[in-house]
């Protein structure tokens, strides 16, 4: 029997969807109450078999590529009214889910070895998230601070979801229905790896994280999430995602990026080395808005703890009226940028712009958290002739491919 996954697609007060060739609008009418606008009925829940289409789905939420699109799904649609809003949930078997994931995370037109690689890590990740937790999460170990200095700590992980197993966006792994599944190689890759996962040296299912580009070195798990590490998620020097390495491949960097990335990702050309300029006045207002702390003019950004890749784990933000320490990795990226910085791997330069305004210049590397598989690096490896098993051994050292064996709940 196939594993069924509950994927949260939309959380909103109103959701538009189409089933059987008809378009409908569902409205949150109170806890446990859904009003279907076209028929005026109020129901506790709504279900329909696929294919169905959800309209105006937001992808890349709060990232610089955020946009809306209509998406069509297989499986079953389930609408619920819980926690103060509506939830559009797709109940779908895991192999159908994976055919969409590997086409949504990267272009379905990619070569078969890369698609097989992603099918295995995406299957491993979602099954690992659904397994019962056997260890209690401990409070984060906070960095040393100055007297009276506040630490603001936040990590985002799978446990943030209450009403479904995983979400459909970058917070978990991209799942955009059959909208992106435009090449039969996606189905071929899933079928070729059916039931296969990555297993660690203790026989446990691996927590197979991935992201766009490491920027030269991969990162430890504890730099971004809970204070624990896995032997298969250790720092790895990665020469494959460097732009010069892509330029040496057939067709050069542009051809490789067109092959690997979906259209909305291709606009990010500075995936490996990037620069972000922030006026101090803008940053001061942003800190007050995001952290609700009035620090006054920001005078310094001081990394306190860095990971193996250079990603900042804890950052001191100093203002004329005080300072705070923020972490971990994703909170730093959210606080300093309009959306998200590409990564927390950056050095800080303070200077004046051409108008004499003080500004911080962040010189950064990489795109994403850096833990596990570097998608652009893996793509470059596959184009150099490395197979699926070779790629997985490079990024998840000490792990091996094997059939999935579920734990007893």
In a domain, 182, yes or no: yes
In a domain, 79, yes or no: yes
In a domain, 140, yes or no: no
Q: How many folded domains does the chain comprise? A: 3
What does the alpha-carbon distance between residue 70 and residue 317 come to, in Å, rounded to a whole number?
A: 40
**Torsion angle (degrees, nearest 10) of CA 354, 357, 358, 359:** -60
Check whether residue 249 and residue 308 sit in a common domain. no
Separation of CA 341 from chain center: 13
Check whether residue 223 and residue 342 sit in a common domain. no
Q: What is the pLDDT along the chain (409 residues), one digit of tens a residue?
A: 689 999 999 999 999 999 988 999 999 999 999 999 877 788 888 999 999 999 999 875 555 556 788 999 999 999 999 999 999 999 999 999 999 998 887 777 778 999 999 999 999 999 998 887 666 667 888 898 888 899 999 998 755 678 899 988 877 888 888 877 767 888 999 999 999 999 999 999 999 999 999 999 999 999 999 999 999 999 999 999 999 999 999 888 887 787 777 776 777 778 899 999 999 999 999 999 999 998 999 999 999 999 999 999 999 999 999 999 999 999 999 999 987 899 999 999 998 866 767 899 999 999 999 999 999 999 999 999 999 999 999 999 999 999 998 875 4
In a domain, 109, yes or no: no
In a domain, 147, yes or no: no
Domain boundary pick from 73, 97, 121: 97
Where does residue 405 rank: exposed (0-12), middle (13-18), buried (19+ CB within 10 A)?
exposed
Do the beta carbons of residue 309 and residue 345 sit within 8 Å?
Answer: yes
Check whether residue 349 and residue 262 sit in a common domain. no
Check whether residue 249 and residue 336 sit in a common domain. no
Q: Quick one: which H or E segment has residue 393?
A: helix 388-395
Local structure of residue 284 (DSSP, 8 states):
H
Check whether residue 222 and residue 318 sit in a common domain. no
Check whether residue 18 and residue 79 sit in a common domain. yes
Check whether residue 290 and residue 357 sit in a common domain. yes
In a domain, 141, yes or no: no
Check whether residue 303 and residue 262 sit in a common domain. no
Tally the C-alpha atoms within 13 A of residue 346's C-alpha that lie toward its C-beta.
28
**What is the phi/psi pair of residue 142, to 5°?**
-85, 155
In a domain, 102, yes or no: no
Check whether residue 386 and residue 247 sit in a common domain. yes
Q: How many CB atoms lie within 10 A of CB 287?
A: 21
In a domain, 117, yes or no: no
pLDDT value, residue 136: 65
56-69 per-position pLDDT tens digit? 998 755 555 567 88
Average pLDDT over all residues of the chain: 89
pLDDT value, residue 190: 94
Q: Which domain holds residue 16?
A: 4-97
pLDDT value, residue 406: 81
Check whether residue 318 and residue 253 sit in a common domain. no
Check whether residue 164 and residue 293 sit in a common domain. no
């Amino acid at each position: 029997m196939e594993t069924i996954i509950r994927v949260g697609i939309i959380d909103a007060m109103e959701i538009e969807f189409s089933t059987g060739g008809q378009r409908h609008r569902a409205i949150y009418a109170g806890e446990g109450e859904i009003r279907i606008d076209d028929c005026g009925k109020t129901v506790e829940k709504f279900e329909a078999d696929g294919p169905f289409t959800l309209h105006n789905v937001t992808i890349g939420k709060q990232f610089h590529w955020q946009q809306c699109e209509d998406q069509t799904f297989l499986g079953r649609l389930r609408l619920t009214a819980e926690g103060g809003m509506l939830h559009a949930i797709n109940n779908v078997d895991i192999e159908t889910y994976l055919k969409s994931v590997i086409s949504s995370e990267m272009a379905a037109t990619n070569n078969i070895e890369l698609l097989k690689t992603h099918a295995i890590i995406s299957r491993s990740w979602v099954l690992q998230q659904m397994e019962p937790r056997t260890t209690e999460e401990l409070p984060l170990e906070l960095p040393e601070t100055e007297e009276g200095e506040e630490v603001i700590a936040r990590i985002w992980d799978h446990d943030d979801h209450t009403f479904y197993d995983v979400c459909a966006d970058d917070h978990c792994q991209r799942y955009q229905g059959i909208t992106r599944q435009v090449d039969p190689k996606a189905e071929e890759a899933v079928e070729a790896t059916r039931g296969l996962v990555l297993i660690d040296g203790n026989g446990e299912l691996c927590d197979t994280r991935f992201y766009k580009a490491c920027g030269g070195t991969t990162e430890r798990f504890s730099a971004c999430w809970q204070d624990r590490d896995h032997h298969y998620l250790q720092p790895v020097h990665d020469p494959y995602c460097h732009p010069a390495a892509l330029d040496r491949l057939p067709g050069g960097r542009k051809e490789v990026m067109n092959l690997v990335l979906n259209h909305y990702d291709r606009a990010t050309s500075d995936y490996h080395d990037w620069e972000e300029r922030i006026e101090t006045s803008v940053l001061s207002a942003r800190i007050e808005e995001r952290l609700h702390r009035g620090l006054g003019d920001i005078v310094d950004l001081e990394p306190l703890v860095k990971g193996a890749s250079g990603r900042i784990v804890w950052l001191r933000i100093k203002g004329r009226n005080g300072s705070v320490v923020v972490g971990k990795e994703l909170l730093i990226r959210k606080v300093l940028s309009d959306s998200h910085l590409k990564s927390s791997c950056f050095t800080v330069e303070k200077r004046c712009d051409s108008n004499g305004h003080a500004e911080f210049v962040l010189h950064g590397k990489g795109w994403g958290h850096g833990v596990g598989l570097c998608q652009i690096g893996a793509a470059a490896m596959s184009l150099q002739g490395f197979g699926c098993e070779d790629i997985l051994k490079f990024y998840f050292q000490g792990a091996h491919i094997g059939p999935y064996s579920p734990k007893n709940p």
